[in-house]
């Protein structure tokens, strides 16, 4: 497997400068587009890594499935569904565009910013500090890494410049979808996006989702298998944003990308994959990361279809 990963990285290295490193969060612009690493955790909890697999980067949107997971664990499916839907477009089958003057749960899903920001409000905790600490604790548990921390520079950079997320969050508030103080909710979301991981951490987190909620190393149950089913289904349809259809055809497994350049892919019952390459395509997904996953999926016949 290590040889295969090395081969794939070598073959995809030429793509690592296609696209651009995210710069709308100024601190992310410092990423090195030469970095390219990959890690696979498989059934027997065996770990295979290649390239710059020790490089750390921020999770960004890859934390969204964990926000969804904690909301499901804390409040249950009915409450989650009443706030955030699961459809990729949120549009009816004959829609020309959004002409609605209302924002409803069925318009958003947990893998877009509005959905994830709204779900932060469902996490249990007296304060937003406590909510975030519980989210970090769950992320550490899934990665089996008690050392995961927030990258303060990235967090402060997004907090200082996140006007669009502020606008989205105030829109949620305007439509009665969140009640709490917008700045506190956003602070939790920005800190969540700034949790620093490596490809290995992502592969381990993905493996727990592939393993129906069981930790691959200890066999401890971290969450109910019905939550893994829910999350993997949402990842399959919405995890790669507007590139989810293409990704379903070419790779064919649930996955989540982040503008930090990471991709986490879940191969149900088989493996968890973590990749890092910070140059992004026009949809905000790691360009070389997707190419590497396409190749790996072909070579190992990973598609669930
Ligand atoms: N923190 C980023 C944002 O909200 C996450 C986006 C992403 O990774 N796609 O803009």
pLDDT tens track for 94-149: 766 655 678 889 899 999 999 999 999 999 999 999 999 999 999 999 999 999 99
Whole-number average pLDDT of the chain: 94
- Provide the pLDDT for residue 96: 65
| Rounded distance from Cα 173 to ligand 1 centre (Å) | 19
CA gap 64, 46 in Å, rounded:
26
Q: How far from 166 is each of 158, 159, 190, CA to CA, in Å? A: 11, 9, 11
% of the chain with per-residue pLDDT over 70 = 97
CA gap 259, 283 in Å, rounded:
10
| Rounded distance from Cα 113 to ligand 1 centre (Å) | 7
80 carries an active-site annotation? no
Work out the pLDDT band at 1, boundaries 50, 70, 90. Answer: confident
| Rounded distance from Cα 7 to ligand 1 centre (Å) | 30
182 carries an active-site annotation? no
| Ligand 1 within 6 A of CB of 259 | yes
- Provide the pLDDT for residue 91: 76
Residues 6+ apart with CB under 8 A from 285: 240, 241, 243, 247, 257, 263
- Provide the pLDDT for residue 219: 82
| Ligand 1 within 6 A of CB of 113 | yes
Encoded tokens for 118: 């709204």
Residues 6+ apart with CB under 8 A from 49: 2, 5, 37, 38, 39, 40, 199, 200
Q: pLDDT tens for residues 59-102? A: 999 999 999 999 999 999 999 999 999 998 877 767 666 556 78
189 carries an active-site annotation? yes
CA 86 to chain centre: 15
Residue of 151, 258, 283 with the most ligand 1 atoms within 8 Å of its CB, for mutation: 258
Domains of the chain, earliest start first = 2-60+197-298 (3.40.710.10), 63-193 (3.40.710.10)
- Provide the pLDDT for residue 97: 61
Name the active-site residue from 17, 241, 298, 303: 241
Work out the pLDDT band at 17, boundaries 50, 70, 90. Answer: confident
Encoded tokens for 264: 């986490």
241 carries an active-site annotation? yes
pTM: 0.96
% of the chain with per-residue pLDDT over 90 = 89
| Ligand 1 within 6 A of CB of 252 | no
CB–CB of 33/15 below 8 Å? no
| CB half-sphere exposure, 205, CA atoms < 13 A | 34
Look at residue 206 and give its three-state secondary structure: helix
Angle between helix 113-120 and helix 163-174 axes, rounded to 10 deg: 60
Nearest alpha-carbon partner for 72 in 254, 296, 234: 234
**Atom from ligand 1 closest to the CA of residue 258:** 8
| Ligand 1 within 6 A of CB of 284 | yes
Which residues on adjacent β-strands are paired with residue 42? 271
Name the active-site residue from 15, 21, 40, 61: 61
Q: How far from 186 is each of 20, 148, 244, CA to CA, in Å? A: 26, 20, 26
């Amino acid at each position: 497997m290590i040889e295969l990963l090395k081969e794939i990285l070598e073959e995809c290295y030429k793509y690592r400068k296609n696209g651009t490193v995210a710069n709308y969060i100024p601190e992310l612009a410092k990423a090195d587009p030469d970095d390219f690493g990959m890690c696979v955790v498989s059934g027997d909890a065996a770990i295979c890594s290649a390239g710059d697999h020790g490089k750390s980067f921020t999770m960004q949107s890859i934390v969204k499935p964990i926000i969804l997971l904690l909301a499901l664990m804390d409040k249950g499916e009915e409450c989650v569904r009443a706030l955030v839907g699961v459809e990729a477009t949120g549009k009816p089958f004959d829609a020309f565009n959004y002409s609605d003057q209302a924002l409803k749960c069925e318009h958003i899903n947990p893998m877009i910013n509005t959905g994830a920001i709204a779900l932060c409000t469902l996490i249990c905790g007296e304060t937003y500090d406590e909510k975030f600490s519980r989210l970090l604790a769950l992320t550490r548990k899934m990665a089996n890494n008690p050392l995961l921390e927030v990258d303060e520079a990235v967090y402060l950079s997004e907090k200082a410049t996140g006007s669009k997320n502020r606008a989205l969050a105030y829109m949620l508030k305007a439509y009665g979808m969140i009640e709490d103080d917008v700045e506190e909710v956003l602070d939790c979301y920005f800190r969540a996006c700034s949790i620093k991981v490596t490809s290995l951490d992502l592969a381990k987190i993905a493996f727990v989702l592939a393993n129906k909620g069981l930790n691959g190393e200890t066999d401890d149950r971290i969450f109910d298998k019905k939550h893994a089913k829910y999350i993997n289904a949402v990842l399959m349809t919405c995890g790669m944003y507007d590139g989810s259809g293409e990704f379903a055809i070419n790779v064919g497994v649930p996955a989540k990308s982040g503008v930090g350049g990471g991709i986490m892919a879940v191969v149900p019952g088989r493996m968890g994959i973590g990749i890092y390459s910070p140059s992004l395509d026009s949809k905000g997904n790691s360009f070389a990361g997707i190419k590497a996953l396409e190749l790996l999926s072909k070579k190992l016949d990973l598609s669930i279809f």
